Structure 1
Amino acid sequence: MQLFNSKLCAVCKGRKLLCGRPTCPILERFRVVRGVEKRINKREIFGSSPPAIFVGEFGYPKVRIGPLVPPIEGNTSYLDSPLKWENASIRDVLRYRSLLVMGETKANVDVKRSGRILSEIQELAMSIRPVDSEILLKRKPILKVLPSEFAPPIGPKAELLDFELTENPRIPRKTDYVVSDELKAEQAIMKLYNSGFDEYYIIRLLSAGLLGIQKKLVPTRWSITAVQDIIGKRLRREVLRYELINEFELYFYEFLGNRYVVLLMPESYAFELLEVWLKGSLFGGEEPQVIHDFEDWRGIKGYANQTAGAYYAARLSILEHLRKRRRQAKILVFREVTPKYYAPVGVWQIRLGTKKAMNNIIGKFQTLQEALNEVGKLLEHPLEYYLKRSEILKVRAKQRTLDDFLRL
């Protein structure tokens, strides 16, 4: 049975859940739209931006950029604070994103050519508190419900005619210093991170073209990966100086339909993410395949082509854990995506899911075999398929057969 096609959906109509998912992703989007459409059905939107901005990547170096403003006043920070969504459901996230109206305009990534509107957007990006803002749109914003379970949650948008901050943004002195100083982007990111600034605040500054010597707008998706990669590389250098952990440590957490199993090994640093989209999940086929990316102490070669942004998000969470403990380990992460993850919400849930996993230890073991036996109990996909793909375990597999690892 195909998991998603027009004939199946026509028969099901969202009532019978023939695709095997716990809820219909198409109907869920319609429910979200119905809940917010009356509040955004106007050309002038006044409210408190969380603050939030968006920079697209299509057409680079001429990109879409715009402020995100909800028709709500007051403390709206929860609408764009991914690392604080630990108790949010997928439906909550869809609703948050649907309330943020984007007034989009075209801009060259070279911010030296910026005008008044871009300057206002940059001021908004620097604020650490919601800012009362007003956008004037060419037409009423449209929130489309795409007939695809693969489409990420997209908020309502329309062409921007004007944007104005109606109150002064609250900008930290540290931000003023970092933005105005002649610092490379990596230096600026680490200064802010080590000063305790929220990771997504730093991402917003980078997207708005406020960091680096040659300041340029950076598409939001690229900014997320860039910031997580830069911080991760710095933390790896620190972790490499620390002593090894003493035992095999196993961690587990399930978050928004994503199952995370993290195995720390008492050996010199390496990191690997093994990922499977189970049958019935968004990208799961009849025969789920294990994908993976790997690095040793020298770092990954190029970009994580198979697991993409998930790689950098998961790596950062675990490196933060090791840095806090001042310990070093070899890291093996198993990610299983279940049918409960019925709508893609972004790599923030991987960042948060692995972070929560590191606060939930399952046990400590003296041997790898004992640890892997326990790993197999936590996963739905057969462990042997993971082991066959694992770069970290290839050397060990040459010394022992897979049957040795799986023997109970």
Structure 2
Amino acid sequence: MGGYLNLSQTATLRIDINTPPRYLKLMELFNSKLCAICKGRKLLCGRPTCPILERFRVAKTIEERINRRDIFGSSPPSIFVGEYGYPKVRIGPLVPPIEGNTSHLDSPLKWENKRIKDILYYRSLLVMGEMKADVNVRKSERILSEVQELAMSVRPVDSEILLKKRPILKVLPSEFAPPVGPKAELLDFELTENPKIPKRTDYIVNDELKAETAIMRLYNWSFDEYYIIRLLSAGLLGINRKLVPTRWSITAVQDTIGKRLRKEILHYEPINEFELYFHEFLGNRYAVILMPETYAFELLEVWLKGSLFGSDEPKVIHDYEDFRGIKGYAEETTGAYYAARLSVLESLRQRRRQARIIVFREVTPKYYAPVGVWQIRVGVKKAMGNPVGRFNTLQEALNELKKLLELKLEKYLEKSWILQLRKQRTLDYYLKLR
């Protein structure tokens, strides 16, 4: 059966996995003048590849494997909980049409050597059978119970999903669209083998622990961060248990661990010198400055001209906290804030030191498709393992930083709360000496 188009006011192009190539020409109707002239061939936007056509190429490579209503394969394991319609949400297992060790398809913290196109391919292989569910797990049905068992497994689980229709892969004619796998309404879901559930997971799930306590115990037992996120999403942690949208779970887990690590490092001595770290990952530049002072954290982020959310005059956005933690939610940098903070705090905890921290994130045109907040977590973590140098003064560190970033350093200095605070304190000090 051929593809179909659903043209809405948001200009969303939905394609069946069998959409003929001739429909690609219709992409011209829904994009900017620049895209219409380029057609993905001239790369006039400056990106290394066309983010729109890249999605269609991925869809083409997997169409034969998922062109049916029943999908059997080894779930990585993986589940997804949506946020739209809360407290009635869409939840379901993610099952690829592949058997065997499929853990690499949903292991974000192990994707440090992967390309963006690899991530798009992984996500497109995971077919989601979705159903509506109340976030209150006490109202759950048999299928939700099976999904929870899947979530607790630490090994791929042979699974089978029966869908109402053949899965549809949504391809949005926008460079802003995150990679989304094919999905369809779920009729039935069954685990065809016993999931591998650790005894410690059983203990946590069956005990009445607060979610924060459960998260920290699992973290300190070295469970994979995204495994903990999966358990929280599936409504398996906490006293009053509820399904938690995946996106919320990621931030909740990273924030919870980050808060606990912050309280711990406040008891350690500050570092002795100014330190600079740097790494470039998936088209994102990450630079970290550590200062030999009491703890504070700030994330400075800019989307450069030609990048996904960039403009002709790039603006620096930021969020920050002192030793008491951030007030409310990181409104400007959102989930990136908690991911970046956690990676630096882990490094300081390992050293048993504290520091004043500034993370600089520059998003370049090479980051042509958003792949999730995990890349910030990994990018900053890799930066912390790549020291540029140690310096006696902040000015020396900033002089070296200039060589690593594209945007003028002055733009960052104008926005930075930590640097402005430090400058003001210095002025006050000299005024008192007069």
Q: Which residue of 2 aligns with 1:76?
A: 102
Q: Aligned equivalents of 2:226 and 2:151: distance in 1?
A: 11
Q: Which residue of 2 aligns with 1:244?
A: 270
Query: Are residue 158 (structure 1) and residue 177 (structure 2) matched?
Result: no
Q: Which residue of 2 aligns with 1:283?
A: 309
Q: Residues 9-408 of structure 1: matches in 2 within 5 Å?
A: 9-398=35-424
TM-score norm. by structure 2 comes to 0.91
Q: Aligned equivalents of 2:273 and 2:265: distance in 1?
A: 17
Q: Aligned equivalents of 1:351 and 1:144: distance in 2?
A: 27
SS in 2 for 1:68: strand
Per the TM alignment, residue 85 of structure 1 is displaced from its structure 2 partner at its CA by 0.2
SS in 1 for 2:64: helix
Q: Aligned equivalents of 1:21 and 1:372: distance in 2?
A: 29
Residue 183 of structure 1 aligns with an amino acid whose one-letter code is L
Deviation sequence 1:302-341 (CA, Å, 0-9, x none): 0000000000000000000000000000000000000000
Per the TM alignment, residue 6 of structure 1 is displaced from its structure 2 partner at its CA by 2.9
TM-score norm. by structure 1 comes to 0.97
C-alpha contact 2:31 2:174 (8 A) present in aligned 1: no
Q: Which residue of 2 aligns with 1:404?
A: none
Per the TM alignment, residue 399 of structure 1 is displaced from its structure 2 partner at its CA by 5.5
Residue 128 of structure 1 aligns with an amino acid whose one-letter code is V
Per the TM alignment, residue 396 of structure 1 is displaced from its structure 2 partner at its CA by 2.5
Deviation sequence 1:259-282 (CA, Å, 0-9, x none): 000000000000000000000000
Deviation sequence 1:110-162 (CA, Å, 0-9, x none): 00011100000000000000000000000000112110000000000000000
Per the TM alignment, residue 400 of structure 1 is displaced from its structure 2 partner at its CA by 6.1
Q: Aligned equivalents of 2:140 and 2:110: distance in 1?
A: 33
Q: Aligned equivalents of 2:146 and 2:215: distance in 1?
A: 22
C-alpha contact 2:31 2:173 (8 A) present in aligned 1: no
Q: Aligned equivalents of 1:325 and 1:397: distance in 2?
A: 28
- Count how many residue pairs are aligned between Structure 1 and Structure 2: 398
C-alpha contact 2:303 2:309 (8 A) present in aligned 1: yes
Identity %: 79
SS in 1 for 2:366: coil
Superposed structure 1 runs of 4+ greater than 4 Å apart: none
Deviation sequence 1:354-389 (CA, Å, 0-9, x none): 000000000000001101111111100000010010
Deviation sequence 1:246-299 (CA, Å, 0-9, x none): 000100000000000000000000000000000000000110000000000000
Residue 265 of structure 1 aligns with an amino acid whose one-letter code is M
- 5+ residue gaps, structure 1, are 402-408
Residue 320 of structure 2 aligns with an amino acid whose one-letter code is F
Q: Aligned equivalents of 1:374 and 1:5: distance in 2?
A: 40
- 5+ residue gaps, structure 2, are 1-29, 428-434
Q: Aligned equivalents of 1:281 and 1:6: distance in 2?
A: 15
